[in-house]
């Protein structure tokens, strides 16, 4: 039972907790203001989950730019494609999520919030424009905001790529 209730995450300082929350708040506000100014959809639920990774655990492999951007892009494409194939099918939606996860793992671009992107993309039935706005543009913008925010606050993001890969 202890394995189910043990918190594996190391303790955070109050400063780091506030920085994670503040960074997320600033990034979502920036997306919202951009949405209002440009008249394009920039906010959708999976990006809130992406903020958790980008601002609370920026050193995680799952928080790195390639994972965020390409994970969301792949998941959105699969969700939209599945909707074109057979909309309103629980089985197709389930298979789309499974395919997106398998694809992210195989391509080494796993980003957990992108699993939700697949479902949102599938269920929304939006046009291909939904892949550009908010999926791809939102992911790119969040990586940009996270990079800027972590540089300002003195944290390293993204993590450095190994020299021999």
Q: How do the pLDDT tens digits run along the chain, 165 residues long?
A: 999 999 999 999 999 999 999 999 999 999 999 999 999 889 999 999 999 999 999 999 999 999 999 999 999 999 999 999 999 899 999 999 999 999 999 999 999 999 999 999 999 887 778 899 999 999 999 999 999 999 999 999 999 998 886
What is residue 165's predicted lDDT score, i.e. its pLDDT?
Answer: 65
**H or E element, residue 18:** helix 14-38
| Predicted TM-score (pTM) of this structure | 0.95
CB 70 within 8 A of CB 137: no
CB neighbour list of residue 126: distance below 8 Å, 6 or more residues apart: 80
What is residue 125's predicted lDDT score, i.e. its pLDDT?
Answer: 82
User: Within a domain: residue 46?
Assistant: yes
**Domain count within the chain:** 1
- Give dist(CA 43, CA 26) in Å, integer: 13
User: Within a domain: residue 161?
Assistant: no
What is residue 129's predicted lDDT score, i.e. its pLDDT?
Answer: 83
What is residue 128's predicted lDDT score, i.e. its pLDDT?
Answer: 76
What is residue 127's predicted lDDT score, i.e. its pLDDT?
Answer: 72
User: Within a domain: residue 43?
Assistant: yes
User: Within a domain: residue 4?
Assistant: no
What is residue 15's predicted lDDT score, i.e. its pLDDT?
Answer: 95
Range of the domain at 132: 13-153
User: Within a domain: residue 164?
Assistant: no
User: Within a domain: residue 116?
Assistant: yes
CB 45 within 8 A of CB 120: yes
What is residue 141's predicted lDDT score, i.e. its pLDDT?
Answer: 97
User: Within a domain: residue 147?
Assistant: yes
User: Within a domain: residue 90?
Assistant: yes
């Amino acid at each position: 039972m202890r394995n189910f209730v043990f918190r594996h995450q190391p303790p955070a300082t109050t400063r780091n907790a506030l920085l994670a929350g503040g960074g997320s708040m600033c990034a979502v506000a920036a997306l919202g203001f951009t949405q209002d100014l440009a008249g394009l959809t920039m906010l959708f639920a999976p990006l809130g989950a992406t903020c958790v990774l980008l601002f609370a655990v920026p050193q995680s492999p799952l928080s790195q730019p390639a994972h965020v951007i390409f994970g969301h892009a792949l998941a959105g494409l699969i969700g939209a494609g599945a909707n074109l194939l057979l909309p309103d099918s629980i089985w197709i939606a389930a298979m789309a999520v499974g395919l997106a996860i398998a694809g992210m793992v195989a391509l080494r671009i796993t980003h957990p919030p992108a699993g939700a992107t697949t479902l949102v993309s599938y269920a929304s039935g939006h046009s291909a424009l939904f892949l550009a706005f908010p999926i791809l543009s939102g992911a790119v913008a969040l990586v940009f905001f996270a990079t800027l925010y972590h540089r300002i606050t003195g944290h390293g993001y993204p993590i450095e790529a190994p020299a021999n890969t």
